[in-house]
A = this chain, B = another copy of it.
Amino acid sequence: MEQEKPLILVTNDDGITAPGIRALIKLMTTIGEVYVVAPDSPQSGMGHAITVNNTLYCDKVVIEKDAPQQEYSCSGTPVDCVKLATREILPKKPDLCVSGINHGSNSAINVIYSGTMSAAVEAGIEGIPAIGFSLLDYAMDANFVPGESFIKKIVENVLQNGLPKGVVLNVNIPKLKKDEIKGIKICRQANAHWFEEFDKRTNPMGREYYWLSGKFINEDKGEDTDEWALKNGFISVVPTHFDLTAHHFIQELNNWSLHD
């Protein structure tokens, strides 16, 4: 008897036509039955934004003729896509949600700004095993091939082992040739941050405006971080959760004079 194929939801934040999601869809159709629900336009930096004060459109689309997957293009954020997919579009709760492959890193603190990872986290909140994939290459013609066998291995492991409640995986892939990738390393999120630099300009009407840019600064010297792994040729896998409680600080807070 043939085993039923796993139902896989694919989404991203670069938009449904981005090369990164096309590569991920192609790979997932070799593993399961694939539904794609992804933003109709780039949503980078959207974090865990949801659309509360506006309407959401979601249309069935055909991006590749005769492809096995079903695809839906959505006007909302990556998190909206996951919510719409699970509640309105998918025939049942998916066995897995994969998000990406993002064009650019979501390591370290980037996880918090990332639409790619927020989509995976949203799936995790809904109890669906979920993984965000990112390649450290912002280029539109980035080469996703070297990472593919590793992505497949990680996906198969998650389908086999499951993930504990409240945990999703943040996977980053270095920009290397396949034989240069040293393997997969389980890591913690590096304690790094962005140092903002605003580019101040004047518009044609004489009004000043800014462009946000910045430098990424990693002061975390640990060799167990995602930054270290990526710099040393490894694919980083960070188990990521959404209980933001700083449990270690609860006891000390109880000693503050808040209770008189």
Question: Which residue numbers of A lie inside 8 Å of B, CB to CB?
Answer: 42, 44-53, 55-58, 76, 79-80, 83-84, 86-88, 109, 111-113, 118, 121, 125-126, 153-154, 157, 161, 164, 166-167, 170, 183-184, 186-189, 191, 193, 196-198, 200, 203, 207-212, 237-247, 249-250, 253-254, 256-259
Taking each of A42, A53, A79, A258, which has the highest tally of chain B beta carbons within 10 Å of its own beta carbon? A258
Contact across chains for A188 and B245 when beta carbons are under 8 A apart: yes
- Contact between A258 and B153, CB atoms less than 8 A apart: yes
Q: In the docked arrangement, what's the CA distance between A244 and B246, Å? A: 10
A76 CB to closest chain B CB, in angstroms?
Answer: 8
Which residues does chain B contribute within 8 Å of A196, judged by CB atoms? Answer: 83, 86-87
Q: A164-B249, A183-B259 are in contact. Are A51 and B238 (CB under 8 A)?
A: no
Q: Do residues B55 and A210 form an inter-chain contact, with CB atoms below 8 A?
A: yes
- A245–B186 Cα distance when bound, in Å, is 11
Q: Could you tell me the distance between the alpha carbons of A188 and B249 in the complex, rounded to whole angstroms?
A: 10
Q: Is the CB of A189 within 8 A of B253?
A: no
User: For A84, what are the chain B residues with a Cβ–Cβ distance below 8 Å?
Assistant: 198, 210
Cβ-defined contact, B88 with A198, below 8 A: yes
The complex places the Cα of A55 from the Cα of B210 at a distance, in Å, of 6
Identify 8 new A-B residue pairs, CB closer than 8 A, beyond the known A186-B253, A241-B244. Answer: A42-B53, A46-B47, A47-B50, A48-B112, A51-B212, A112-B242, A126-B193, A240-B246
